[in-house]
Structure formats: C-alpha cells, structure tokens
Amino acid sequence: MANNTINKEEIEKFSKLAEEWWDPDGKFKPLHKFNPIRIELIKNKVIKEFNIQNKKKPFVNLDILDIGCGGGLLTEPMCRLGGKLTGIDASMKNINIAQIHAKKNNLNIKYICASPESLKIKKKFDVILNMEVVEHVDDLNLFIKSSSSLLKKNGMMFIATINKTLKSYLFAIIGAEYILNWLPTGTHDWFKFVKPDELKILCEKNSLKLFEIDGVNYNILTDKWHTNKDTSVNYISVFKKV
C-alpha cells in the first residue's frame, strides 16, 4: 500500500493547466459550467442538515475544507457564503494561482499545498468537499481514511466523481475529450472511475455513512447541468461522519 495518495502524473497534468483556472472559456470551461449546480447542491444540503436560518450567509461559523481545490473555483463561492475556508491541493502551482486570485478579491482563504494525509492541522472541519478529485488519486482507501480523520463527528463530506459504466466511458471520455473537446485528451482514466457502491463500502470502513446520492447530468439543449436520480455518469454523494 502506498503511504501517500498523490499521483505525480495527475499533479503534473493539472499543474500545466494551472494558468487557465479562472478563464471561463479556457481548459476548465466545463468546470465553470458545472460550478453553479455544485454550489447550489452543497448550499441546500448544508442548510437543511445544520438547520441554518441565515440564507444569505449560510456558512457563517462553519469550518470548510476543500480538498483538491485547484485554483479555488469552488473554494471562493463557499467563502462568499460565509464559510471559514481552507483549500488544499497537491500542486503548488494551483495553490499559487488560488492565493493570488483570493487576494485580488479580498477573500480570506487559507490555502495549503498538501494532500489530506500530509495536512498538518489541528482543527477538524464541519464540511469537507472532495469534488472531482477521487478519480485522480492513488490509494483511494488511504485518501478516504485521511479525509474522514479531518471531519468532525456529524460533519458532512461531499464526494463528486464519475461512475464506472459503459455510459461514463462514452460520455466522459469519448464524448467530452475526443468529440466535443470539452476537456484535454487524457484528463480521465476510466479505470480510476468509482462505482457508488464501491465508494459507499470504502466510506463505511472509514466512519462515513451514506446520507444522500444525486446524479448530475448535462442537458445539451439548455447547455446547463441539473441534478436527478441518474447516477450512471456523474454523481455527488453526501456522507455523514458517525
């Protein structure tokens, strides 16, 4: 078993693209389009779970960790919703981009170049975001175990990833990378995709109980993402620490 979860090839791949994080028409364009549905889903589920009344700044007093934060595309909106944000990424280049962008926008976010197992931090978090990251790591069990150890009891962990199905191969790789050119060729490795049941078993081993699961699908006619019960390609699972 590896003693860390960092896949060097994956880190190099995303480091090369780091300059493009905040370009809505650049290499991360699909993520910019995907972001509103992620923000909405996280916000609604956190408000419901923690019974939050303040709808404008619902994340006030919540410690939130964004793992594999990249350039801060999701970290910044979470901060704007009032959260106390820490963003970690194994690519120093990504962290530098995120820090510069946060400073430019006067956002108080703590960015650290680390993976969950190497993060030297005393506090635990109310909410942990593992969005579009588990399909890029080595030793998934260690990754989930390390992430879980950073979560408070009754805290929430969001894991967004891609199912391992024939449909996901056709849509997420052939369609997105080769036909539509949404993503650079080689962004995803189908063999690293994770089935919801496998993720659930892995998380249960590490004190995380499945709370909810939503499918996330793209509508080509409206050019928007929406949630439903179809988890055959993209899905977001919500776990609670027990």
Q: What is the pLDDT of residue 180?
A: 79
pTM for the structure as a whole? 0.93
Confidence grade of residue 4 (pLDDT, cut at 50, 70, 90): confident
Kindly list the structural domains of the chain, giving each domain's residue range(s) and its CATH number in brackets, ordered by start.
8-241 (3.40.50.150)
Mean pLDDT of the chain: 94
Distance of CA 65 to the CA centre of its chain: 10
Confidence grade of residue 15 (pLDDT, cut at 50, 70, 90): confident
Rounded to an integer, what distance in angstroms lies between the CA atom of residue 17 and that of residue 27?
A: 7
pLDDT tens-place string over residues 186-237: 888 999 999 999 999 999 999 999 999 999 998 888 989 999 999 999 999 9
Name which of 120-134, 139-153, 179-193 the model is least confident about: 179-193
- pLDDT > 70 fraction of the chain, expressed in percent and rounded: 99
Name which of 54-58, 163-167, 212-216 the model is least confident about: 54-58
Give the length of the chain: 242
Record the tokens describing residue 8, joined without a space: 């060097």
Q: What is the DSSP code (8-state) at residue 169?
A: I
Confidence grade of residue 1 (pLDDT, cut at 50, 70, 90): very low
Rounded to an integer, what distance in angstroms lies between the CA atom of residue 119 and that of residue 114?
A: 6
Residue 38 sits at the vertex; the CA angle it makes with 33 and 39, to the nearest 5 degrees, is 105
pLDDT tens-place string over residues 84-124: 999 999 999 999 999 999 999 999 999 999 999 999 999 99
Rounded alpha-carbon distances, angstroms, from residue 21 to 4, 158, 208: 25, 21, 31
Assess whether pLDDT exceeds 50 at residue 148.
yes
Look up tokens 């280049």; give the residue. Answer: 93
Instruction: Pick the more confident residue, 184 or 214.
Output: 214
Q: What is the pLDDT of residue 179?
A: 84
Q: 75-78: long-range contacts at Cβ-Cβ below 8 A with a sequence spacing of 24 or more?
A: 75/102, 75/109, 75/111, 76/101, 76/102, 76/105, 76/107, 76/109, 77/35, 77/39, 78/39, 78/42, 78/129
